[in-house]
Amino acid sequence: MGWSRWTSGEREAPEPLEGNVVATVVGGTVIWFTLFLVQLPFYGWFDDHDRTWWLWTCLTGGVLGLYGIWFVRRREAALRRERLARETGTDSGSGTEPGTGPGTDPAPKGPAPAE
């Protein structure tokens, strides 16, 4: 049994879930910063009980969330540019033909066949 049933290639990977990624990352970042700010007045208690790492964990989550917001906004913009390039049939400026990136079928050339 073991891992072979998962890694043998017999199972097809599910499609990735696409949602509002930017809103999800912004929401998580706000939660991390909120937790940090709520705990900040109790720094003395956390210090007395050797739990200051709770505050620094929340602050680190917020800072990493800022990086995540920057990252997913750039990703969304790149996806939007690629989609627009595919729809208009123009080059996206990446040096490759539209629709020839990894995991995409090549764009059809010439007129569509008669049915």
| 77-98 tens-digit pLDDT | 999 999 999 998 876 555 555 5
Instruction: Tell me the residue type at 62.
Output: G
Percent of the chain with pLDDT over 90: 58
- Predicted pLDDT at 10: 78
Which segments in the chain show pLDDT lower than 50? 115
- Predicted pLDDT at 32: 98
- pTM tops 0.75: no
Cβ atoms of 66 and 33 within 8 Å: the answer is no
